[in-house]
Chain A
Amino acid sequence: MFGNKLQISLYRYNPEEDKFPYMKKYVIDKPERDIMVLDLLNLLKEEDQSISYRRSCREGVCGSDGMNINGKNGLACITPISEVIKRNKIELRPLPGLPVIRDLVVDMTEFYSQYEKIKPFLQNETTAPEQERLQSPEDRDKLDGLYECILCACCSTSCPSFWWNPDKFVGPAALLQAYRFLADSRDLKTSERLESLSDPFSVYRCHGIMNCVNVCPKGLNPNKAIGEIKSMLHKNKKDIIASDGA
C-alpha cells in the first residue's frame, strides 16, 4: 500500500497543550536495513524534538523503553521492526493501564510501590560470616529465571488483573521478585513473606491469563512463580485458599 514508505502511528499527549491524547501519523522512507523500534523513534525525534519516550541502555537490560507495539507490550530497543510491521504500519502506544505523563512516558509510581511492598531485599538477621554465605549451585539455580527481571513493567501492564486492582494486586513483576526471595536459600523470612501475600488480592487476583509470560522481553515466567507462591501458601495455610472469594 505504501511501497517503500513506512507509516508510524504514534500516541501523542502533552498535558500542557493537549486536552486529549491523539494518534499522530508519520510517514518515512522504509529504512534500508532492519532496525529496532527504538532506532525508529530516534529517527522520528531527530525530525520532531517534541516526541518523548524513555531510553537508556538500548540493549534490553535496563528496562526503560517498555511500550505497546502494535498491540503487544515489548522493549523498543530489542524489537526489530521487521517483526512487528503489519502492512507497512507500526502503531506505538504507552504501556496500558498506567497514567500517561507525556507521549510514551507513563507514571510508574504504582508499579514501583508494588515492588517495594514485597520487601525486595534479602532478609537474614543472623550474624554475617566474615566471608560469603555459602549456597550450593543447586540452590543458586533456583534463582535463575527470577533475578533477571529488569522492571520494565511489560508484564504487569499487560495484566487485566493489574489494570483492575493496581493498588491491591501485586502484579506479575513484583510477584516474580517476591518468589525470587522466597526461593533464596539465604533468606529467612519465608513465613512473614507468605503471610503478607495471603490476603485475597495480593496473589490470588492472578487468574492465570498468562499475558505476562507472553510479553516478557527477558523470557521469564511470572505465572510459574505465582504458581509456586500459591502452592507455598497452600502448604502453609490451607484455610486461606478455602476462604478466597475471588
Chain B
Amino acid sequence: MNNINTIEFDALIIGGGGSGMRASLELAKSGLKTAVVSKVFPTRSHTVSAQGGITCAIASADPNDDWRWHMYDTVKGADFIGDQDAIEYLCSEGPKAVFELEHMGLPFSRFENGRIYQRPFGGQSKDFGKGGQAARTCAAADRTGHALLHTLYQNNVKEGTNFLNEWFAVDLVKNSKDEVTGVIAFSIENGEVAYLKAQATVLATGGAGRIYASTTNALINTGDGLAMALRAGYPAQDMEMWQFHPTGIYGAGSLVTEGCRGEGGYLINKDGERFMERYAPTVKDLAGRDVVARSMVLEILEGRGCGENNDHIFLKLDHLGADVLNSKLPGICELSRTFAHVDPIYEPIPVVPTCHYMMGGTPTNISGQAYTRIDNEDHLIPGLFSAGEAACVSVHGANRLGGNSLLDLVVFGRATGKHIQEELKSGGGVTSATKGDIDASLERLNKLNESNSGFDTADVKKELQECMQNYFGVFRRGEFMKQGLDQLKDLKQKVDNLHLTDKSDAFNTSRVEAIELQNLFDVAEATAISAYERNESRGAHARDDYPDRDDENWLCHTIFDPKSKLVTKREVNFNPSKVEAFPPKVRTY
C-alpha cells in the first residue's frame, strides 16, 4: 500500500452530482485538466431524485417577479441565519444559471407562451410577503433533478471532462503548510489506490441523510466530503440544522414532492381535517417545511394521526383529477403505487416527516472557498473548496425553502468553477505534499484493510441511525440529547474498530460501506454536539426545552471544531451589496 501511484490534475471535483458537474463543466470548458471523482456513475447521484423543481425569479409565471422577493423569502425561510451576501448572490445570479441549463438542453415543462413552466412552492411570496403566493419553481414535470443531472452529465461529455467513475475518495491530503493538495482514493472496480493530486480540490459530495434511520436520501448519501474535511481538522457550520421533509412516504421514506401541495394537494388528519389551516392560516399547506413538519408531528402526538396506529398523515391529491396528476406529477403517481400501494388519483398518500436535507456543512464563501476558524476569525484553506449540500455558504440558514437546493447546486457549482479557473490562471495554487503527508492520509484505509477482528458494519450503522433518529429528530430536548451523546461516545469505539471480513479488491462494496459508516459517524457527531449546544428553537431546530427563538444569544451560526469537539458562534452576514439587509422579525406563515 505504501508505493501508490500519483495522478495529477489542475482541479479535482469529489462528487458527480449537480454541484460537482456544474463546477466541472465550467472548468472543462476553460481547458484546465479537470477530473470528477464519483463513487457512482454520475447519473446515479442523489440530485437525480429531486422532483419538484428549481426555484428562481425568471419572471415566467409572473412577468413582474423580482429576485429581491425571492431573496426576502429565502432570508425569512432561513429564520434569519442565512448569510445575506450569499442569498443575494443566489437569487440574483439564479436566472442566468437557469437559462444556461435551458440552453444546455434541460427539458423544462412549458407554459402556452413557450416559456419555462413555474409552479408554487412553500414559503414563496410576491412583494416581500405582501403580495400573496408566488409561483417561482421552474419544473420539468416532477423529474426536475433527473432532467438537470442528465443534462449536466451530457454537457460534460460534450466538453470532454475526465471522469473517475466508481472511484472512492477516502481522505484529504494535507501538507505542513496546511494546504490541501488532493485526496487518497481507490478504484472500487479493482482496488487500485492512488494519490490524486490537484491544485484545487472541490468537495461536492452532497448530504448525509443516512445518519438517520428514516430519510428520503439515497443510500449513497453518507457525507463523505464533509467527513473528510472534519477528519482533516476543518470545521463544520450549522450542523444542528437538518430539514425534515413533511412528505416522505410512510414506511419507505421516498420523497413526495412539495410540488404536490403547490399544485393544490393538501394534508389531512384522521378526521379528514385540513389541519394546516390552524397552524398557518394564511398559506396553509405551503408554509415553510419546518413549520409543516412540526405541525404534522403535533397532530400525530395528539392522537389525530391516520392509520391503525395513528402514526402518519394523509396527503390528499385525488381532487386534482387524473389529468393534472398524470401531466404534472407522473413520477409521484408511480412512486405512490410502488411504495405506498395507493393510487393518488383515487386515494390519499400516507406520509410522515422524513429527514431530507443537511443545511449545515463545510463553511465557504460565495466563490466556494472553504475556510477554517482560527481565534474566532475566518481563514481560507488553500486548495480546498466545497459546493452544494456538502457546503454551508450559507443560503439555507436554519431551514431551506423547496426548490432552493437545485438552484444552490448550479449557482455555487458554477461560481466555484469560475473562481478556480481565475485563481489557477493567475498563478494561484498549492505546493506539494511529502510522502509522510500522503502516508498519514492512508492510515484509515490501511487500518481497515488490516483489521482481523472488531465490529460489524451493518450492526453499528443501525445503532447509529437509531440513535440519531431517537434523540436528534424533529423535536429535541436537552436531557434526551445528553443520552444520545453518551451513546455516540460508545459508538465511536465501534466505528474506529470495524472488522472488514472481505479483503478482496474487485468491486468490494463492504470496504466502501465501512468507510461510509465512519463518515456518517463524523457527521452525526458534529450534528449531535451542535444540536445540544443551540439552546433555542429556530427553523428546523426545535427544542422542547427552549421553545422560542432567541435572537439575543443565537442569531448566529454555530461552528463545530472537530479537534476540540467544541461549538463556537460565528456572525451571520447582514451585508448584501445591492439591497438593504432584511432585519430579523417574527416568522409566521
Contacts and interface: CB of A to CB of B under 8 A. Distances in A.
A93 B501 CA distance: 24
A131 B457 contact: no
Contact of B105 (A54, A64, A80, A121): A121
Nearest to A132: B102
Give the dominant DSSP class at A's interface: loop
Nearest to B514: A49
A122 interface: yes
B110 A186 contact: no
A136 B58 contact: no
A121 B155 contact: yes
Most buried by B among A45, A63, A120: A120
B43 A63 contact: yes
A61 interface: yes
Interface residues of A, number: 55
Contacts of B143: 61, 148
A147 B504 contact: no
Contacts of A17: 504
Given A49-B501, A59-B335, A101 B103 contact: no
B133 interface: no
Nearest to A143: B107
Contacts of B58: 131-132
Contacts of B99: 128, 130-132
Contacts, number: 147
Given A56-B220, A59-B254, A137-B111, A46 B150 contact: no
Contacts of A105: 507
Interface string A29-73: 000000000000000011001101111111111111000000000
Nearest to A120: B154
Interface string B495-513: 0000011101111111000
B107 A147 contact: yes
Report, as a range, how many residues of chain B touch the other chain.
Answer: 35 or more
Contacts of B205: none
Contact of B218 (A58, A101, A128, A148): A58
B338 A60 contact: yes
Given A101-B507, A134-B115, A46 B458 contact: yes
Interface in B94-117: 98-99, 102-105, 107-116
Given A17-B504, A54-B40, 8 more contacts: A45-B458, A45-B510, A52-B507, A56-B220, A63-B43, A124-B103, A132-B116, A136-B112
Interface of A: 14-17, 45-46, 49-50, 52-64, 78, 80, 101-103, 105, 108, 112, 116, 119-122, 124, 128, 130-137, 140, 143-144, 147-148, 150-151, 181, 184, 186-187
- Rank and list the top 9 A-B pairs by shortest CB-CB distance, nearest first: A122-B105, A134-B114, A49-B510, A132-B102, A121-B154, A102-B507, A62-B44, A50-B502, A46-B458
30 contacts: A16-B504, A16-B506, A45-B458, A50-B504, A52-B508, A55-B219, A56-B218, A56-B219, A57-B46, A57-B218, A58-B218, A59-B252, A61-B146, A62-B45, A62-B46, A62-B48, A63-B44, A64-B41, A121-B154, A122-B105, A132-B115, A132-B116, A135-B114, A136-B112, A150-B43, A150-B48, A151-B43, A181-B105, A184-B107, A187-B105
